[in-house]
């Protein structure tokens, strides 16, 4: 084609004047768009296909309660103070982030938690193009950030500038939102944009429904990004705002509900996000936080731990029998959090497959579930449980077996037992492995595993840290074995690239890190701040993950998912722990919930924020408690089985 007929990006006219939609951009940001003009494009509105089928979620049902009341303070707790109020970059992936981002900021389109459908977020309508990989969005023109600025269509250009920037120091995001996957972002007018994904994925809409970034706040990024925004959070499209003046360093963070939140009366957001404030206080000791819950200083408390459910807050506890607080079991339908022992295959002696397999057979999770969890939990079997047909149908976790463990350890050279019963090899090296965790409340689990492992000749040395310190150590890949969990996304199929591709284990890319025979080369550079805590680097697994990521057919994705689950099982770096088919919480009865308690895809009680604080009820309960009078004629123990898997 001639130069005159070549397609243009539309970023500027023939005289070099910027398109009006980008008139406000900094020079650096605009140059980034120009340098990537195959990805960032502005087109005339008449380029929007006329045969699109626009959807707006109007056929979906609301899942909040019209009985909800606005007001009050939700008193919550965290076990460690956040190291930053950024939601990206080093130290940003802590538990507090959910209050700022995951459970607060709106995406273009939201996934409905009771159906396979979608409802409007920042976009009022959407349509999938004929190519099956482009989605068109019309922004809700009333959408505002918490500083009053409107959400602009150009904020979605800026989102990709932001996520691809080296200054945010977030290689996972750099890759995930890179040009390889998000191939084209196109603006048409002040309310319409489209995003083109690299494949026609079955869950395309979820993939491309990103959250915008407030360009007016950042303007551009530089080397000062981390320090500049450490305690200066960006304006939000969500209901709650964390302002620097509401941060009591080391003690608490109070989030305040926007008085004029733009989505307050939108159909799928009304009757949600009801408290006026969320005060999140640091209580480092788990037992101390439970004591404060029983006093009423904390409104809700997770009771998944058997000790708390049966012993510390039994059904005949006066707080329950008098109707002051409720014990709730809610059956949900979600992929379980990935509780597992993650073995760092980079560290000796764990670089020996036989040692890893011996450790598998040394872990008596059945005893843990019987003794500590009273049989209420079941064993997780694979790295991808809970994804329906995408989960491997027959793969099972390895059983506890002294005989099997000893045989594998012997193959690795650990054949003799020392005076303390721990195996040693010919060099006199003991079979001793350090297990790191940030979960103080699961210390009893690890103690049982440690005691049982001794029977196989394995010593487990437990290193129990504060949550933030543990995640930092794991991110640096300086552990041998980690006991940890990630919340799994409610998605159509599982993710394998982040935790198991070698590009997240070493800086060297692709097959360059492997010898011809498939073994790893010497002197590779460990890649930090990724979720590959097992340092898995297997060429065949890489190749299969690459195929999996490129696949469009759900049938093929299912088959590849099964193969990957099997290969990771065979590699022996991931020892599955347990899963539970329910949520268990306790809450004071001034906290009210809808009649069905919550949506079926609820992963924790904070996620969809459909509850509310009844201030009058709170006064009534506290007064009755002071006088020792009941407010209910029967214990408030509630079981919600609407979504129980049959």
User: What is the three-state SS of 532-563?
Assistant: CCCCCCCHHHHHHHHHHHHCCCHHHHHHHHHH
Class of domain 340-573: alpha beta
Secondary structure letter of residue 132 according to DSSP: S
Secondary structure letter of residue 188 according to DSSP: -
504, 172 Cβ separation under 8 angstroms:
yes
For residue 108, which phi and psi values (nearest 5 degrees)? Answer: -60, -50
The structure's pTM equals: 0.78
Q: At what angle do helices 539-550 and 554-571 cross, to 10 degrees?
A: 160
At residue 6, the pLDDT reads 41
189, 44 Cβ separation under 8 angstroms:
no
At residue 316, the pLDDT reads 96
Tell me which residues of the chain have a pLDDT lower than 70: 1-7, 646
Listed residue (535, 437, 423) closest to 477, CA to CA: 535
State the Cα–Cα distance between residues 226 and 190, nearest whole angstrom: 31
Q: What is the dihedral of CA 526, 531, 533, 534, to 10 degrees?
A: -90
Q: Tokens 């004591």, residue?
A: 291
For residue 75, which phi and psi values (nearest 5 degrees)? Answer: -95, 110
At residue 1, the pLDDT reads 36
204, 137 Cβ separation under 8 angstroms:
no
- For residue 254, give every residue at least 6 positions away whose Cβ sits within 8 Å of its Cβ, in sequence order, or none: 242, 246, 247, 248, 277, 278, 279, 280
State the Cα–Cα distance between residues 236 and 145, nearest whole angstrom: 5
State the Cα–Cα distance between residues 422 and 608, nearest whole angstrom: 49
Secondary structure letter of residue 47 according to DSSP: G
At residue 489, the pLDDT reads 76
Listed residue (601, 552, 559) closest to 389, CA to CA: 559
State the Cα–Cα distance between residues 235 and 240, nearest whole angstrom: 10
The Cβ of residue 405 has, within 10 Å, a number of other Cβ atoms equal to 24
Listed residue (494, 492, 511) closest to 502, CA to CA: 511
Secondary structure letter of residue 308 according to DSSP: I
> Which residue spans of the chain are classified as CATH 3.10.105.10?
340-573
Tell me how many helices (H) and strands (E) the chain has: 19, 26
Q: What is the dihedral of CA 269, 275, 277, 278, to 10 degrees?
A: -90
State the Cα–Cα distance between residues 164 and 170, nearest whole angstrom: 9
Cα-Cα end-to-end distance for the chain: 61
- For residue 416, give every residue at least 6 positions away whose Cβ sits within 8 Å of its Cβ, in sequence order, or none: 423, 424
CA distances from 270 to 30, 274, 528 (A): 38, 9, 41
Per-residue pLDDT reduced to its tens digit, 418-464: 999 999 999 999 999 999 999 999 999 999 999 999 999 999 999 99
Parallel/antiparallel/unpaired status of strands 300-302 and 459-464: unpaired
Secondary structure letter of residue 317 according to DSSP: -
At residue 7, the pLDDT reads 53
Q: What is the dihedral of CA 215, 218, 221, 222, to 10 degrees?
A: 160
Sheet of 277-282: strand order equals: 73-78, 277-282, 252-257, 240-248
Tokens standing for residue 639: 């079981």
């Amino acid at each position: 084609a001639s130069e005159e007929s070549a397609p243009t990006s539309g970023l500027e006219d023939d005289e070099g004047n910027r398109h009006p939609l980008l008139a406000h951009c900094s020079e650096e940001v605009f140059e980034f768009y120009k340098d990537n003009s195959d990805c960032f494009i502005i087109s005339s509105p008449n380029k929007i296909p006329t045969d699109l089928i626009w959807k707006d979620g109007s056929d979906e049902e609301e899942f909040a309660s019209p009985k909800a009341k606005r007001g009050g303070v939700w008193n919550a707790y965290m076990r460690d103070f956040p190291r930053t109020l950024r939601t990206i970059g080093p130290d940003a992936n802590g538990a507090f982030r959910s209050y700022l981002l995951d459970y607060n900021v709106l995406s273009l389109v939201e996934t409905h938690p009771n159906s396979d459908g979608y409802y409007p977020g920042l976009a009022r309508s959407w349509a999938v193009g004929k190519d099956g990989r482009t989605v068109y969005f019309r922004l809700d023109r009333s959408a505002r950030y918490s500083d009053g600025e409107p959400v602009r269509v150009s904020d979605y250009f800026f989102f990709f500038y932001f996520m691809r920037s080296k200054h945010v120091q977030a290689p996972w995001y750099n890759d995930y939102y890179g040009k390889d996957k998000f191939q084209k972002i196109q603006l048409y007018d002040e309310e319409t944009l489209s995003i083109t994904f690299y494949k026609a994925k079955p869950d395309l809409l979820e993939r491309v429904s990103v959250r915008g970034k407030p360009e007016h706040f950042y303007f551009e990024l530089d080397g000062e990004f981390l320090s500049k925004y450490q305690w200066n959070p960006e304006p939000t499209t969500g209901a709650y705002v964390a302002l620097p003046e509401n941060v009591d360093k080391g003690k608490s963070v109070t989030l305040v509900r926007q008085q004029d939140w733009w989505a307050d009366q939108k159909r799928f957001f009304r009757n949600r996000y009801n408290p006026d404030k969320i005060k999140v206080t640091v209580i480092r000791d788990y037992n101390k936080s439970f004591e404060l819950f029983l006093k009423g200083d904390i409104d809700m408390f997770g009771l998944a731990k058997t000790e708390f459910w049966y012993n510390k807050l039994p059904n005949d506890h006066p707080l329950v029998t008098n109707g002051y607080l409720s014990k709730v079991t809610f059956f949900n339908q979600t992929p379980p959090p990935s509780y597992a022992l993650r073995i760092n295959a980079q560290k000796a002696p764990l670089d020996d497959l036989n040692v890893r397999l011996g450790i598998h057979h040394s872990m008596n999770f059945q005893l843990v579930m019987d003794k500590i969890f009273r049989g209420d939990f079941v064993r997780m079997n694979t790295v991808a449980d809970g994804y329906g047909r995408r989960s491997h149908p027959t793969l099972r976790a390895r059983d506890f077996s002294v005989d099997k463990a000893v045989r594998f350890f012997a193959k690795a050279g650990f054949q003799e037992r020392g005076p303390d019963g721990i195996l040693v090899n010919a060099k006199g090296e003991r079979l001793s492995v350090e297990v790191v965790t940030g979960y103080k409340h699961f210390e009893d689990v690890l103690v049982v595993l440690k005691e049982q492992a001794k029977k196989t000749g394995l010593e487990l040395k437990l290193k129990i840290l504060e949550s933030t310190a543990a995640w930092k150590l794991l991110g640096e890949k300086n552990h041998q074995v980690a006991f940890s969990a990630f919340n799994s996304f409610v998605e159509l199929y599982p993710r394998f690239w982040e935790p198991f591709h070698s590009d997240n284990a070493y800086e060297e890319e692709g097959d360059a890190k492997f010898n011809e025979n498939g073994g790893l080369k010497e002197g590779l550079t460990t890649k930090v701040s990724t979720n590959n805590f097992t340092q898995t680097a297997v060429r065949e697994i890489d190749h299969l993950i690459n195929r999996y990521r490129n696949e469009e057919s759900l049938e093929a994705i299912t088959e590849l998912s099964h193969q990957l689950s099997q290969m990771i099982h065979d590699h022996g770096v991931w020892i599955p722990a347990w899963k539970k088919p329910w949520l268990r919480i306790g809450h004071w009865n001034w906290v009210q919930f809808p009649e069905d308690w919550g949506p079926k895809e609820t992963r924790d009680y904070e996620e969809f924020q459909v509850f509310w604080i009844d201030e009058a009820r709170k006064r009534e309960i506290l007064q009755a408690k002071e006088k020792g009078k009941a407010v209910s004629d029967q214990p408030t123990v509630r079981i919600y089985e609407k979504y129980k898997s049959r």
